[in-house]
């Protein structure tokens, strides 16, 4: 499936009329894929790993995984798609009120920097939103997560270094990053724990507009359930904005048999063209039913 402009509009702008076309396209490719010779270069969402596939290997997450947005019927998990936050502090509420997510404001009214411009999601949103496929691979001193959507990579240092303690003040001599600074360790043979801080303040923590500070601390827990299954749970501690820990959700991943997935990007020029010709002229209605991606 050609997925660039369609992907941008369906996924980011949430135009329902177009999503039905995309679904029809997907359905066609699914029905055809069983009767044609398969290319080793294509992702076939109907080719799915069967069952658990055997016990989980120890201390090993490497490989290419289908996420909940992959079209491979991976369970959606809990909270991650539309997370609910704990009670916010006054500052958190003020920041949250400034964000206009697409679900409420439509493409014309939202100020979501990804929806309007294809700005990077940044972390942690890039691990909860548009989760189609990910590849995990390692060097001796770090683990990399290669994310299908937007073709970006994160690095997680496993050499024992400590996280920076206060990127926000500048004392560390570090700038905040879209992907933050991450360290990881194995808690047991099947659970890899990643801690991240130093997040770029221009990004949203979630697609529905919850904010984060630079010094927010996000923890990811990747659990290898079996050869074919992996579960990710995420929490965020950000006491300046939230009165309690924020549960960012649980997501499931399934092993992709041929280890391939498609290229899937948000293309800024196409989004600008879409907004100019369709999204902005349509305007928005605050009383309309919320749109869902």
Partner 1 sequence: MRNRLTQVILGSLAVFAIASFAFGQEQQARPRPRRQLQPGYVAEGVPEMPNPPGPAPKHDISGAWVGPQNVSRDAMPPMTAAGEAKFKQNHPYVQGGTRDGDPKEYASNDPFIVCDPLGFPRDLLNHAVSSRGGMIFLPGLNRMFIMFEQQRVWREVWMDGRELPKDVDAKGAPDSRYYGYSVGHWDGDNTFVIDTTGFDQRAWLDENGHPKSKNAHIEERYTRADQYNLQLVATLDDPKFYTKPWVFLKANYYWMKDQDFEETLCIPSEGIEYRDTLARPSGISADTSSK
List of residues contacting partner 1 (CB under 8 A): 1-3, 36-37, 39-42, 62-64, 113, 116-120, 135, 137, 139, 141, 144, 146, 151-153, 170, 173, 175, 177-179, 259, 262-263, 265, 267-270, 272-273
Nearest alpha carbon to residue 177 among 152, 206, 158, 140 = 152
- Give 20 or 62: the residue with its C-beta nearer to partner 1: 62
Cis amide leading into 124 (omega within 30): yes
Q: How far is the CB of 59 from partner 1 (least distance, A)?
A: 15
Pick 37 or 286: Cβ nearer partner 1: 37
**Least Cβ distance, residue 267 to partner 1 (angstroms):** 6
Residue 226 beta carbon to partner 1: minimum distance, rounded to whole angstroms: 18
Which pair of structure tokens corresponds to residue 285? 């209605």
Give the number of C-alpha atoms closer than 13 A to the C-alpha of residue 84, restricted to the C-beta side: 2
Count of C-beta atoms within a 10 Å radius of residue 59: 14
- In the complex, least distance from residue 245 CB atom to partner 1, rounded to whole angstroms: 27
Nearer to partner 1, 4 or 193 (CB): 4
Tokens of 243: 């009165």
CB atoms within 10 A of CB 244: 11
Give the nearer residue to partner 1 in terms of CB position, either 2 or 287: 2
Helix, coil or strand: residue 201: coil
Nearer to partner 1, 84 or 151 (CB): 151
> Does an H or E element contain 186, and which?
strand 181-188
The answer for residues whose C-beta is within 8 angstroms of residue 110's C-beta and 6 or more apart is 100, 101, 102, 104, 116
Phi, psi dihedral angles at 245 (to 5 degrees): -60, 140
Smallest distance from partner 1 to CB 84, Å:
28
Which one, 48 or 142, has the nearer CB to partner 1?
Answer: 142
């Amino acid at each position: 499936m050609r997925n660039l402009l369609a992907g941008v509009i369906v996924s980011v702008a949430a135009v329902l009329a177009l999503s039905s076309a995309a679904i029809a396209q997907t359905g066609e490719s699914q029905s055809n894929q069983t009767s044609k010779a398969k290319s080793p270069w294509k992702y076939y969402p109907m080719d799915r790993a069967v069952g658990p596939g055997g016990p989980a290997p120890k201390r090993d997450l490497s490989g290419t995984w289908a996420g909940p947005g992959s079209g491979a019927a991976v369970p959606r998990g809990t909270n991650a798609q539309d997370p609910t936050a704990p009670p916010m502090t006054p500052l958190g509420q003020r920041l949250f009120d400034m964000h206009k997510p697409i679900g409420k404001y439509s493409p014309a009214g939202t100020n979501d920097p990804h929806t309007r411009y294809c700005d990077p999601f940044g972390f942690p949103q890039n691990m909860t939103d548009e989760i189609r496929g990910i590849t995990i691979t390692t060097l001796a001193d770090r683990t990399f997560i290669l994310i299908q959507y937007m073709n970006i990579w994160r690095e997680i240092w496993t050499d024992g270094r400590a996280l920076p303690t206060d990127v926000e003040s500048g004392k560390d001599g570090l700038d905040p990053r879209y992907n933050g600074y991450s360290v990881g360790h194995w808690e047991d043979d099947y659970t890899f724990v990643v801690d991240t801080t130093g997040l770029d303040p221009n990004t949203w923590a979630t697609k529905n507009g919850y904010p984060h500070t630079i010094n927010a601390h996000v923890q990811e827990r990747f659990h290898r359930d079996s050869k074919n299954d992996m579960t990710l749970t995420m929490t965020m501690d950000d006491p300046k904005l939230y009165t309690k820990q924020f549960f960012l959700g649980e997501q499931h991943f399934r092993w992709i048999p041929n280890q391939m997935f498609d290229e899937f990007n948000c293309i800024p020029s196409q989004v600008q063209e879409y907004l100019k010709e369709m999204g902005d002229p349509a305007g928005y209605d605050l009383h309309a039913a919320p749109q869902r991606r």
